[in-house]
Structure 1
């Protein structure tokens, strides 16, 4: 798997997954953010696309856990959110890119292409 999408909104997961599959990427969705660790252990993705604010879970925590673990710290992370301060927050927590919700499909695809170029 190249890309893991983590969002508590199944529709967002499926939308992003379908867009990226149509672009030729190997993508898996995780609509229960509590399960992402299990998925990462089984198949280490090159890129994680995650929402910042999710029910009972936080993309900031996910980012911190990934970036502090020597076995996963090289995984690229794209944080997405509609929160007005999310772009500034993302700069302080070590994500590799940020995507504002709602997003344009071309922006998503371009950002993914750029992030996977450097892996």
Structure 2
């Protein structure tokens, strides 16, 4: 699998997953952020798209866990959020790209294409 979408909002996960699949990507989603470890082991994604702010387990923690683990540190991460300081925060935690919510479909696809090259 190429892409794993992690967000506690099921509608956002479904939307992003549907867009990516329609564009020819192999994508899956996880709406329970605490289950992301199981999904990573099961799917071995090349890219994770995650929200910065999620209930109980935010994107900062997820990113730090992935980047500190020698088995997963190679996985690229695109953070997304509508929070006004989110892009600034994401630059301090080693994400590969940032997507501002709400986003345009074309912007999502072009960022994903660039990260998977």
TM-score after normalising by structure 2: 0.99
Matches of 1:14 and 1:43, distance apart in 2 = 17
Name stretches of at least 5 consecutive residues in structure 2 with no aligned partner. Answer: none
Matched residue pairs, number?
117
Please state whether the residue corresponding to 1:5 is helix, strand or coil: strand
Matches of 2:42 and 2:23, distance apart in 1 = 24
Please state whether the residue corresponding to 1:74 is helix, strand or coil: coil
Task: Please give the per-residue CA displacement for 1:41-88, whole angstroms capped at 9, x wherever unaligned.
Answer: 122100000000001110000000000101000000000000000010
Matches of 2:79 and 2:36, distance apart in 1 = 15
Please state whether the residue corresponding to 2:64 is helix, strand or coil: helix
2:21 equivalent in structure 1: 21
Matches of 1:52 and 1:87, distance apart in 2 = 9
Name stretches of at least 5 consecutive residues in structure 1 with no aligned partner. Answer: none
TM-score after normalising by structure 1: 0.97
CA RMSD of aligned residues (A): 0.5
1:68 aligns with 2:68: yes
Matches of 2:32 and 2:62, distance apart in 1 = 13
2:96 equivalent in structure 1: 96
Matched ranges for 1:31-70 at <5 A: 31-70=31-70
Matches of 2:87 and 2:54, distance apart in 1 = 16
